[in-house]
Structure 1
Amino acid sequence: MQNCDTNDFSAMHFSTDAFPERDRQEAFCEIVARSLLKLDVTPLHDQPLAATMSFRALPGLGLSTGRLSPIHCRHLVTQADDDDFVLVVSWTGGGCSVLQGDQETELHNGQATLTANGVRGEIWGASSTACDYLNLRLSRSLLEPRLSDFSAALARPIGADNPALRLLLGYCRILNDEKAGLTPELGSAVITHVLDLAALAIGATRDGTEIARRSVAAARLHAVKADICAHLADCKLSVAVLAARHRVTPRYIHRLFELDGTTFSEFVLTLRLRHADRMLRDAHFLDCTISTIAFDCGFSDLSYFNRTFKRFYNATPSDIRRTVRGTD
């Protein structure tokens, strides 16, 4: 198990595969369930307990993702050391049942519900297959003022088609894939965005809904930028394509970049030029022609690539290549 720094959102990982089979259940219960999650865990369907999990944390916010074999979890109220909320999300695997006090609900794939530490609760898998899940621990003092009525929201299903929930889950996926840690400024922004999106999904106050619009825009832009990075080599990447994938209008995409002080075209061009520059300076790509590098970075016109590269770096791609080779 690897430790994480709660100041930078870096990941802590746990897998039962790291232990001998006979020790896996006890290792999970001791290291994860009782210590971190304050849960009493029992395997279901006579299946051995198997878990692969990642944990990330910032002050007031925790993100837990992974895959679990069917289990029954009981919240250890007497051992709870906080009264935070936990947003439980069933990603895949047949769903689960959630009990909070006297309220019980069933979650199907893509659905979520709000739970609270300090309230008697149980969760158990609804099928005999492993489940992919996401849990968000949210500070009560930060989230409750954003909610219209948290007590009415406990153990109430949030539909998979809820726009705020979809955006929140997409944002969390991006955060969970981040390799680098966060600066204090970015960490503070992440906390705000997640809390606002969670409040919208659960049921925000009128003031909270208005305030959360800024976080929605920031989360949308983060998701769009991640999408661009993932498809940078596609020369057909366009605002229209992105808008269709993110279920918004092309004008909305343009507006997001305007609010960020740039344009879609400038952002994509800068990313492609920087990626090309890194490849040109990397000795591993010395056998690649400049045209191959240009096309691999999403440029469809070599002349345009050469012109824009020289304007951006005040040097031609050939100049950079000669510098790397150590030739005049």
Structure 2
Amino acid sequence: MNDSGRLAPLTVSTDEFPETKRLAMWREVYGRNIANVDIEPIDDAPFQASVTFQALPGVGIVSGSRSAARYHITREHLAKSKDLVGLSVLISGASTTSQFGREIVGRAGGGVVLSATDPSVSTMHCHGSFLTIALPRPDLAALVPDLGSAYARQIPPENDALRLLIRYVEALRQGGPAEAPGLTRTAATHVIDLAALAIGATQDFAEAARGRGLRAARLEAVKADIEDNLGRPDLDIVAIAQRQGISPSYIRKLFEAEETSFSAFVLEQRLARAYRMLKDLRFADRAISAIAFQVGFGDLSYFNRTFRRAYGLTPSDVRAMAVRAGLR
């Protein structure tokens, strides 16, 4: 467990097993001891599966990939099941999901709502990847009218709240807001908020959630967009707003709520990336000016000045310290 109280991610993979025993060991380790499911491969391809688990207070996040197979949850498996709702998202591949006599053909980026206390069958028809979020049913039921009618129904990939939920969870998996001490419960609340909005929250709650989980997810999506395009010297708030489908003024308000600004965040991230590269001996032969330009600075003197102000050291100092440490 890390300092924030969030459980560190745990990954289980068939790559860790002998090749000839992968299916048998996956059935035992994952099927019987973790997920409590029956696993039936549906083709002759070598069996492969990899799953990463991450926990927030009351919320479980499971992501991974697997080869073609059916995963059966029967009445027998449900004897010790918890009162949860599963929101399963197909990231890539082809899948079907069955529950309550209904079969849903998966769409990449789409989600399926499942009762964790009723039998179901989830089939991956070819090698693919997925994301599953386990949500507390009482909390979700308080926000979504007639939650039972949402079971075994598909949430389309075009659902804005679902797209934001996927991005937000990815940010958490990459060490996003829940790394800060005391924020794990807030992050879990944001996940539940976004799931409720994606499934169909009450109108009153939807208004509240837009100022809570939706806003947090929007901010994380903007930050991820910035980091993906950090090296572009023409990175600006207008381009980010257009890609995210929101206005520049809304982005400014998101950062103002964190007592910072768009430009301050961009500068901070550029400096942090340059600092990491200067400490990394793999970049020891790269000129400092080249690193500055690579992370998006167009003016070397401005880079040197802001770097020293941020870290109390010059870029050359940081590199020299890293080289000395590497020679020890």
Question: Aligned-pair distance for 1:260?
Answer: 1.5
Q: Is the contact made by 2:4 and 2:180 (CA closer than 8 Å) also made in structure 1?
A: no
Question: Aligned-pair distance for 1:154?
Answer: 0.2
Measure the CA separation in 2 of the matches of 1:4 and 1:135.
22
Task: Give secondary structure in 2 for the equivalent of 1:38.
Answer: coil
Question: Aligned-pair distance for 1:319?
Answer: 6.7
Question: What does residue 251 of structure 2 align with?
Answer: 253
Question: What does residue 95 of structure 2 align with?
Answer: 95
- Which amino acid in the other structure matches residue 103 of structure 1? R
Measure the CA separation in 2 of the matches of 1:199 and 1:158.
11
Measure the CA separation in 1 of the matches of 2:258 and 2:176.
23
Question: Aligned-pair distance for 1:232?
Answer: 2.3
| Structure 1 position 122 matched with structure 2 position 127 | no
Q: Percent identity, aligned pairs only?
A: 39
Structure-1-length-normalised TM-score: 0.86
Task: Give secondary structure in 2 for the equivalent of 1:87.
Answer: strand
Measure the CA separation in 1 of the matches of 2:319 and 2:12.
44
What is the total number of aligned residue pairs between the two structures? 321
Q: Over aligned residue pairs, what C-alpha RMSD do you find? A: 2.9
Task: Give secondary structure in 2 for the equivalent of 1:209.
Answer: helix
Task: Give secondary structure in 1 for the equivalent of 2:118.
Answer: coil
Task: Give secondary structure in 2 for the equivalent of 1:65.
Answer: strand
Task: Give secondary structure in 2 for the equivalent of 1:119.
Answer: coil
Greater displacement, 143-152 / 195-204: 143-152
Question: Aligned-pair distance for 1:211?
Answer: 2.1
Q: Residues 14 and 226 from structure 1, CA distance in 2 versus in 1: closer, same or farther, beyond 3 angstroms?
A: same
Which runs of 5 or more structure 1 residues have no equivalent in the other structure? none
| Structure 1 position 298 matched with structure 2 position 296 | yes
Q: Is the contact made by 2:52 and 2:63 (CA closer than 8 Å) also made in structure 1?
A: yes
Question: What does residue 84 of structure 1 align with?
Answer: 84
Pairing 1:19-30 to 2, within 5 Å after superposition: 19-30=17-28
Measure the CA separation in 2 of the matches of 1:325 and 1:183.
31
Question: Aligned-pair distance for 1:323?
Answer: 7.7
Task: Give secondary structure in 2 for the equivalent of 1:135.
Answer: strand
Question: Aligned-pair distance for 1:155?
Answer: 0.4
Question: Aligned-pair distance for 1:27?
Answer: 1.2
Measure the CA separation in 2 of the matches of 1:200 and 1:289.
49
Q: Is the contact made by 1:153 and 1:202 (CA closer than 8 Å) also made in structure 2?
A: yes
Question: What does residue 111 of structure 2 align with?
Answer: 112
Question: What does residue 36 of structure 2 align with?
Answer: 38
- Which amino acid in the other structure matches residue 92 of structure 1? S
2:128 to 117, 131, 138: 131
- Which amino acid in the other structure matches residue 241 of structure 2? A
Question: What does residue 18 of structure 1 align with?
Answer: 16
Q: Residues 270 and 4 from structure 1, CA distance in 2 versus in 1: closer, same or farther, beyond 3 angstroms?
A: closer
Q: Is the contact made by 2:237 and 2:262 (CA closer than 8 Å) also made in structure 1?
A: yes
Greater displacement, 67-76 / 145-154: 67-76
| Structure 1 position 70 matched with structure 2 position 88 | no
Pairing 1:1-328 to 2, within 5 Å after superposition: 7-80=5-78, 81=80, 82-96=82-96, 98-125=97-124, 127=125, 129-178=126-175, 182-213=179-210, 214-279=212-277, 287-312=285-310, 317=315
Q: Is the contact made by 2:38 and 2:72 (CA closer than 8 Å) also made in structure 1?
A: yes
Q: Is the contact made by 2:95 and 2:105 (CA closer than 8 Å) also made in structure 1?
A: yes
Measure the CA separation in 1 of the matches of 2:61 and 2:45.
26
